[in-house]
Structure 1
Amino acid sequence: MKKIIRIGTRDSELALWQANTVQEKLESLGFDTILVPIKSTGDQVLDKPLYELGITGIFTKTLDIAMLKGQIDIAVHSMKDVPTLLPKGIVQAAVLEREVTQDILVHKGLDFLENEGNVTIATGSLRRKAQWLNKFPHHNVVDLRGNVNTRLLKLIENDWQGAIFAKAGLKRIKLLPKDVMDLDWMVPAPAQGAMMVVAMENDAHCLEALSQLNHKETEVATAIERDFLRTLEGGCTAPIGALAEINTEQVHFKGVLYSLDGKEKIEIERQIKLNQTQDFGSTCAKEILANGGVKLMDLIRNENSTLH
């Protein structure tokens, strides 16, 4: 009998869109599949910021456990949510072609940019918060959690001037407002806009199937960004941004590390040939660490430990 590939996914609208996309691609190649939606801890605990929960991979852990228990065969993730170290036995099997990478501000009018008064912007991301405060130090940034739909609803219900989102997520589920503000100055999260599919390392059938969905350019760019993140030891707990862009035979990389309040910023920008990218992300991270990053990461860890 033909093996049915069980696709594990979170049950939010965006996660289901991503899983359906993988399902359609696999079925068009002749594979039989079924979706298995699972609620993650990150979706269930909405009253605390992610960094206060003290877990990296909070959105992926539930699916990892289901896969290790044999309840699902593969899992589809927003790649930026996936820890740089995967659980033993689970491997990256495919990275799909990337969507747009930038962050956007969904707002109720941009008058506040001229206003020195009381401005409140919402985001659940340390990285977005630090970069916003670096540019607008007099603004107030509040925590915003939940799936995309929940966060959009909270923006409507609260007296906030705007909320920050990944453009890719809103675009994918057709909720992108016409008049958003593109935050081109904000360095995205490592692997933002990309989708990763994982499988068990001993599952030859699924690995072979998923290898046909892999987009090499996206795989290379996100590997550089995630190497940068892993070497800085950021995970979910430090304001780290990274973007590698491939232009024919060249890779342009920008990486940043901020203090939690956004006041301190260490950045790096480098170009390298596409055939020389081995350890490139890690090398860039080491340069950040040597340039004051070690001290800044220690400070961030100390501040985070007082929060938990």
Structure 2
Amino acid sequence: MSETPIRLATRASRLALWQTEHVASLLNQAGLPTEIVPMQTIGDKVLDRSLTKIGAKGVFTEELEESLRRNETHLAIHSAKDVQSSLPPDLELVAFLEREQVNDVVISFQKDFDITKAGILLGTSSTRRKALLRRFYPLANTAEARGNLQTRLRKLEEGQYDALVLAYAGVHRMGYDSLIRHVLPSNKFVPPVGQGSIAVECSRFLDSDLKERIKAALDHPDTHRCLLAERAFLRTMEGGCSIPSFALATLTEAGDLHLHGGLISLSGEEYVDFTQTAPAAQAEGLGMAVADYVLGHGGEAILASIREQRGEL
């Protein structure tokens, strides 16, 4: 093994540390020693406001990225869905790990929990999930649920919500599968860009040979192709995680990319989506084409309405 360990910047939550330890184990297997550097982001510190109110762009990544710039760490480990659509020019995503199951799930301590029951209270911090719940489960109520998974589970156990709506990946990685009451279908509850994958970020100035070894140890090519398409969609939408957009790319048996992307209004009443297939080599062009269609067929009006409701105009 090399004598100088690769320093991995990560959020300090249990889920983030699990993800980083998983990255570290893969690097170690490739003969690259590691050191984990936990830190707190603004998204971890400010829990009394929704993500849209604190400015969702980079709230879970900025501090980690600054450590890369200061050469305090070599890699920043993120949930891919938390990475902003456009990176600063001095940083890059060197790898995407193989994707976990992408679905949203409903978890509850109530074994007979029924999501169709009128008046239930569902906790979520996601603008997309709230909008989709209003569309597909209009009898349910939603409430803001910030904090890491353990904090949200404590609030759930205290009875602040009847259930939580979360990504399957985090629930599964933390060993809470027994609490899953509903797996929401990904063709209706289309996930946000990147859900289920771990993204690895580095400085563009990181040693090129080391970068190649890191990529060889960590990157899952099929997942990478899918996320190139999804991230191009999000970048073209110019939305980030503060708008209720969604996109899921999958590989067909022929090796082409199939992308389902769209946008929903905050009320859940207006919904625009589009699907398109293209060769995997055209991943970014596919993402841009699907976004352009969505924007041109009602998406621009939905975005304008969202900005107006938030006082951004």
Q: Same fold (TM over 0.5)?
A: yes
Provide the residue aligned with 1:70 in structure 2: 71
Give identity over the alignment, percent.
33
Provide the residue aligned with 2:196 in structure 1: 193
TM-score, length of structure 1 as denominator length: 0.94
Q: How does 1:88-127 map to 2 (within 5 A)?
A: 88-107=89-108, 108-110=110-112, 112-113=114-115, 115-116=117-118, 118-127=119-128
Q: 2:227 aligns with which of 222, 227, 238?
A: 222
Provide the residue aligned with 1:210 in structure 2: 214
Q: How does 1:127-142 map to 2 (within 5 A)?
A: 127-142=128-143
What is the deviation of 1:57?
Answer: 1.2
- 3-state SS in 1 of match to 2:240: coil
What is the deviation of 1:237?
Answer: 1.8
Q: 1:260 aligns with which of 241, 259, 266?
A: 266
Provide the residue aligned with 1:183 in structure 2: 184
Matched, 1:295 2:297: no
Provide the residue aligned with 2:170 in structure 1: 169
Matched, 1:5 2:9: no
Provide the residue aligned with 1:154 in structure 2: 155
In 1, Cα distance between the equivalents of 2:195 and 2:210? 25
Return 241-250 or 185-194, whichever deviates more.
Answer: 241-250
In 2, Cα distance between the equivalents of 1:176 and 1:166? 11
What is the deviation of 1:283?
Answer: 0.5
In 2, Cα distance between the equivalents of 1:129 and 1:233? 20
Contact conserved, 2:41 with 2:59, CA < 8 A, in 1?
yes
1:198-236, CA deviations, whole angstroms, 9 ceiling, x for partnerless residues?
Answer: 111111254122211111100010111111111111112
TM-score, length of structure 2 as denominator length: 0.93
Matched residue type, 1:63:
L
Relative to structure 1, the CA distance from residue 104 to residue 113 in structure 2 (aligned partners, 3 Å threshold; closer, same or farther) is: closer
- 3-state SS in 1 of match to 2:86: coil
What is the deviation of 1:87?
Answer: 2.2
Gaps of 5+ in 1: none
- 3-state SS in 1 of match to 2:94: strand
Relative to structure 1, the CA distance from residue 120 to residue 217 in structure 2 (aligned partners, 3 Å threshold; closer, same or farther) is: same
Relative to structure 1, the CA distance from residue 178 to residue 19 in structure 2 (aligned partners, 3 Å threshold; closer, same or farther) is: same
In 1, Cα distance between the equivalents of 2:105 and 2:304? 30
Provide the residue aligned with 2:53 in structure 1: 52
In 1, Cα distance between the equivalents of 2:269 and 2:294? 16
What is the deviation of 1:251?
Answer: 2.1
- 3-state SS in 2 of match to 1:277: helix
Provide the residue aligned with 1:32 in structure 2: 33
In 2, Cα distance between the equivalents of 1:267 and 1:110? 33
In 2, Cα distance between the equivalents of 1:111 and 1:23? 38
What is the deviation of 1:41?
Answer: 1.0
What is the deviation of 1:140?
Answer: 1.5
What is the deviation of 1:175?
Answer: 2.0
Gaps of 5+ in 2: none
What is the deviation of 1:75?
Answer: 0.7
What is the deviation of 1:264?
Answer: 0.9
Contact conserved, 1:237 with 1:304, CA < 8 A, in 2?
no
Contact conserved, 1:5 with 1:206, CA < 8 A, in 2?
no
- 3-state SS in 1 of match to 2:250: strand
Contact conserved, 1:254 with 1:268, CA < 8 A, in 2?
yes
In 2, Cα distance between the equivalents of 1:114 and 1:53? 32
Return 274-283 or 77-86, whichever deviates more.
Answer: 274-283
Contact conserved, 2:9 with 2:73, CA < 8 A, in 1?
yes
What is the deviation of 1:33?
Answer: 1.3
In 2, Cα distance between the equivalents of 1:279 and 1:114? 39
What is the deviation of 1:159?
Answer: 4.2
Contact conserved, 1:228 with 1:242, CA < 8 A, in 2?
yes
Contact conserved, 2:115 with 2:140, CA < 8 A, in 1?
no
Contact conserved, 1:64 with 1:87, CA < 8 A, in 2?
no
What RMSD over aligned residues (CA atoms) do the two structures have, in Å? Answer: 1.8
